[in-house]
Amino acid sequence: MTLRALIFDVDGTLADTERDGHRVAFNAAFRAAGLDWEWDVATYGRLLEVAGGKERIRHYLRERPADAASPSHADAWIAALHEAKTRFYVEALAAGALPMRPGVVRLLAEARDAGLRLAIATTTTAENVTALLRQGLGETSTSWFEVIAAGDVVPRKKPAPDVYLHALERLGLPASECLAFEDSENGIRASRGAGIATVVTLNDYTRGQDFAGAVSVLESLGEPGLPARVLAGESPRLDYVAVDDLRRWHGDAPAGPAPARV
Ligand code: XBP
Ligand code: MG
């Protein structure tokens, strides 16, 4: 099977968005709503077990039975609070607060040059993806991705495989012709659940999670002069992960000279 497409998670994979992006925006929304909630770095790390912002708020409410008893905490209340959070997050991105992780810009450019198709499969809200791509990769970069599967496009969020299955269906490709890029256990459970071989670049929130079945687990995709440290699985040929490595890891036959005519 030939590698045809790369499918990227967003949060934690394209950029380290959680601690200084989403978490800060949640807290700003809580303050604006007059709530005395504050998700510190450790609390947020624990809450990240629940994928999806609305789902995370609902989970937090369930942990606080006194609050959960209030009729104001219905779906519409959570949705409005989450919309405010999205506004704060997009504003922060417009201010240029969150850079792409090492190697992301380089590998995307290389993949486009090599004719690989690109897609996104994420739990986060679609506006957040657009804002992050525009800020980190340039105004037109949303068009690089043939499919942007985001947020509530599927009812069951990661670790369910649904968002990846949706992306595969929209690409019109089998899982065996794709590679996924993830940073978390919830993420790889989703991508592997959809049958897609997965490269993991972990971060401080996901270090120590279970990445069994990953093709390679790395500190980052790396750059020339900023080596991609490998923690498990396959290693890149050079200091950094390149398209040739992805093809090799995927099991593509090396592109050799054309066979001689007889
Ligand atoms: C990311 C998430 C997201 C963000 C918040 O998971 O769980 O919910 O934390 O985004 P993954 P929203 O990287 O596995 O897709 O508030 O827009 O849901
Ligand atoms: Mg992620």
Tell me the residue type at 125.
Answer: T
Minimal CA–CA distance to 241: which of 257, 221, 226, 227? 221
Provide mean pLDDT across the span 48-53: 95
pLDDT for 257: 59
Ligand positioned closest to the Cα atom of 154? 1
- Give, in order, the Cα–Cα distances in Å from 84 to each of 27, 79, 91, 152: 10, 9, 11, 17
Task: State the Cα–Cα distance between residues 47 and 58, nearest whole angstrom.
Answer: 11
Our mutation pick for probing the ligand 1 site, out of 124, 125, 196, counting the most ligand atoms within 8 A of Cβ, is 124
Residues 208, 214: contact at Cβ < 8 Å?
no
Quick check: 69 pLDDT over 60? no
Task: State the Cα–Cα distance between residues 147 and 36, nearest whole angstrom.
Answer: 39
Give how far the C-alpha of residue 95 lies from the chain's centroid of Cα atoms, to the nearest Å: 21
Question: Ligand 1, atom 8: nearest CA belongs to which residue?
Answer: 52
Q: What percent of the chain has pLDDT over 70?
A: 94
- Give, in order, the Cα–Cα distances in Å from 178 to each of 6, 58, 116: 6, 34, 10
Strands 117-121 and 230-233, by their bridges, are unpaired
Distance 48 CA to ligand 1 centre (A): 8
Question: Ligand 1, atom 11: nearest CA belongs to which residue?
Answer: 123
* The ligand 1 atom nearest the CA atom of 26: 16
Pocket of ligand 1 (CB under 6 A): 9-12, 18, 22, 51-53, 85-86, 122-125, 128, 158, 184, 186-187
pLDDT for 78: 94
Our mutation pick for probing the ligand 1 site, out of 24, 54, 123, 163, counting the most ligand atoms within 8 A of Cβ, is 123
Question: Ligand 1, atom 16: nearest CA belongs to which residue?
Answer: 53
Output DSSP code: residue 21. I
Evaluate if pTM is beyond 0.85: yes
Strands 230-233 and 216-218, by their bridges, are antiparallel
Q: Nearest-5° angle of CA 176, CA 178, CA 179?
A: 115
The catalytic residue positions are 9, 11
State the pLDDT confidence band at 97, using cuts at 50, 70 and 90. Answer: confident
Quick check: 142 pLDDT over 70? yes
pLDDT for 153: 94
Helices 75-94, 23-32: axis angle to 10 degrees equals: 120
Distance 50 CA to ligand 1 centre (A): 9
Measured from the Cβ of residue 104, the count of other Cβ atoms closer than 10 Å reads: 21
Sign, CA torsion 82/85/90/96: negative
Q: pLDDT digit string (tens) for 76-85? A: 999 999 999 9
Minimal CA–CA distance to 16: which of 153, 186, 220? 220
Q: Nearest-5° angle of CA 202, CA 208, CA 213?
A: 70
Quick check: 159 pLDDT over 90? yes
Can you list the positions of beta strands (E) in 122-204? Answer: 147-149, 178-182, 197-201
pLDDT for 96: 82
Quick check: 219 pLDDT over 70? yes
Provide mean pLDDT across the span 199-218: 97
Q: pLDDT digit string (tens) for 166-189? A: 999 999 999 999 999 999 999 999
* The ligand 1 atom nearest the CA atom of 50: 7
Quick check: 64 pLDDT over 90? no
Task: State the Cα–Cα distance between residues 176 and 34, nearest whole angstrom.
Answer: 49
Distance 126 CA to ligand 1 centre (A): 10
Residues 166, 149: contact at Cβ < 8 Å?
yes
Provide mean pLDDT across the span 86-93: 96
Residue 101 three-state SS: coil
Distance 178 CA to ligand 1 centre (A): 22
Output DSSP code: residue 99. P
Residues 216, 249: contact at Cβ < 8 Å?
yes
Distance 10 CA to ligand 1 centre (A): 8
State the pLDDT confidence band at 20, using cuts at 50, 70 and 90. Answer: very high
